[in-house]
Amino acid sequence: MTINYTTLLGLAKPVTGTEANAWGDVVNDQITSLVEDAIANAVSISVSAGNVTLTDNDGATDQARMAVLLITGSPGTSRNIVAPSRSKWYIVRNGSDSSVVVKGSATTGVTIASGKTALVFWNGSDFQTVASNNVSLTTEVTGTLPVANGGTGATTLASGQFLKGAGTSAVTTSATVALGSEVSGTLPVANGGTGAATLTGVLKGNGASPVTASNVNLASEVTGTLPVANGGTGAASLAANNVILGNGTSAVQVVAPSTNGNVLTSDGTTWASAAKVTVDTIQTTTSGTTKTFTGIPPTAKVIHVMFNQVSITLAQTLLVRVGSSSGVVTSSYRAAWSRITNTVAASNSTTSGIDIPIPAMGSSQYVDGFITLCLFDTSNFQWSVSGVVGANVGTNTIMAMISGFTPALPSALDRIEISALGGATFDLGSVNIIYF
């Protein structure tokens, strides 16, 4: 019995004139069955223990002839599947936990990753892949995919930067986006934008709808009080017809009009509503020895002291003195007077006050008239004095002219005192002052 075998698949080739009465077995076992293995059969191969060399038999079933290689096992490392180095294709399904290399005994072979399936064939010098169900971009792709083929054309892209198209050239990167030329459309409110393409005026929220813009309604859309430091008054209300005064960075002050006829006056520090001419309260001179007017403001520059039928009990004279918050000053006056009666003229001077020179005054004899004080020195609070008074003394009519200066005061004048001298007391008339 003589049988030869094919080189690639090891199929039986009976020699002519041989195999008498045995052809059926040869054809069935060594040709038909083996052809089926080569075309459609599969073999399971475990690689857990190590590399595997496929069995290779002529005229008998083996692993190398199978169409499909089902790789199994858990080697934890890559394994080699060594096949005969001749023309043959295999469908290889790698079900192991590691990659496998299908190769010839002395070739490099082709790697099939865990979980992958590939069609491999012998190319005359080694096994290579015909096709697989997945392409490994890491190990099975080289070069750079150009823009024209759906790629970026770039091999590196800067981390965290924006990608920018460049026509058919490679994509570029940039750390910034030019909002004026590289952005279109309107960013909605839900994504942190305004939702509006144009806005004029003050921006106003509108829920999830686009932001609106318009003038601010000061009556309904503003709360709080604008402070002075931001151009406001710092005050929530201003009384009608009051005069507004600055107050540094604090809220403005106001001065009320007060009494009819008042004027705005300054004390050198601030402003106040004051009478243009203040008429003080009349004081009667029907008893006592001294009448004092206090509360004269530092704004006063002219004071009139008026006598209305003022009489005293003894044949004495009257004395006018000035003072400040420190008290009435009783010395250093420079006052002079001249008087004329029906038949006699006289003159004198005094330093203890402003003398009202009416001689021989007594009960039922009185003085009328006024003297005027004018502020002369605003630094030393010194006043000039002048005036004219007349008296009815018995059958005589007396006129007196008074002039002089007060002493310097330690502070602004705020009081005037009128006294009866020599133990006399007032018994008739009244006195008053006016100032401005």
In a domain, 128, yes or no: yes
Backbone Cα Rg of the chain: 64
**Burial (CB count <10 Å: 0-12, 13-18, 19+), residue 20:** exposed
Question: Dihedrals φ, ψ of 32, to 5°?
Answer: -60, -50
User: Which domain range does residue 259 map to?
Assistant: 243-274
Q: Are residues 78 and 100 in the same domain?
A: yes
Chain segment 68-89, per-residue pLDDT in tens: 999 999 999 999 999 999 999 9
Q: Are residues 428 and 313 in the same domain?
A: yes
| Number of folded domains that form the chain | 3
d(CA 81, CA 83): 6
In a domain, 210, yes or no: no
d(CA 157, CA 173): 7
Single out the residue of 294, 238, 299 nearest to residue 273, CA to CA.
299
In a domain, 198, yes or no: no
In a domain, 321, yes or no: yes
Q: Are residues 282 and 256 in the same domain?
A: no
In a domain, 32, yes or no: yes
Q: Are residues 101 and 62 in the same domain?
A: yes
* Amino acid residing at 58: D
Confidence of residue 347 (pLDDT cuts 50, 70, 90): confident
Summarize the chain as % helix, strand, coil (round to 5).
5, 40, 55
Chain segment 388-403, per-residue pLDDT in tens: 998 876 666 778 899 9
d(CA 403, CA 373): 10
The pLDDT, as a whole number, for residue 425 is: 93
Q: Are residues 120 and 73 in the same domain?
A: yes
d(CA 418, CA 382): 18
In a domain, 113, yes or no: yes
Task: List the structure tokens of 395.
Answer: 């059958």
d(CA 118, CA 106): 21
Q: Cα 255 vs. chain centroid, distance in angstroms?
A: 36
Q: Are residues 326 and 365 in the same domain?
A: yes
Q: Are residues 360 and 395 in the same domain?
A: yes
Task: List the structure tokens of 361.
Answer: 């005054």
The pLDDT, as a whole number, for residue 83 is: 97
Q: Are residues 298 and 362 in the same domain?
A: yes
d(CA 206, CA 189): 9
Q: Are residues 418 and 295 in the same domain?
A: yes
| Of 226, 257, 274, the domain-final residue | 274
In a domain, 152, yes or no: no
| Of 114, 132, 150, the domain-final residue | 132
Q: Are residues 47 and 124 in the same domain?
A: yes
In a domain, 62, yes or no: yes
Q: Please, which residues bridge with residue 121 across strands? A: 89, 128
As a whole number, mean pLDDT of residues 21-30 equals: 65
Lowest mean pLDDT among 28-32, 199-203, 376-380: 28-32
Question: Dihedrals φ, ψ of 51, to 5°?
Answer: -65, 155
The reported pTM is 0.46
- Under a CB-based contact definition with an 8 Å cutoff, are residues 89 and 69 in contact? no
- In this prediction, what percent of the chain has a pLDDT beyond 70? 89
Domain with 319 in it: what CATH number? 2.60.120
Q: Are residues 420 and 345 in the same domain?
A: yes
Round to the nearest angstrom and report the end-to-end CA distance of the chain: 159
- Cα torsion 233, 235, 236, 241 to 10°: value is -90
**Burial (CB count <10 Å: 0-12, 13-18, 19+), residue 24:** exposed
Q: For residue 376, what is the enclosing H or E element?
A: strand 366-377
Chain segment 97-142, per-residue pLDDT in tens: 999 999 999 999 999 999 999 999 999 999 999 855 566 677 767 8
**Burial (CB count <10 Å: 0-12, 13-18, 19+), residue 127:** buried
Q: Are residues 314 and 268 in the same domain?
A: no
| Of 252, 274, 296, the domain-final residue | 274
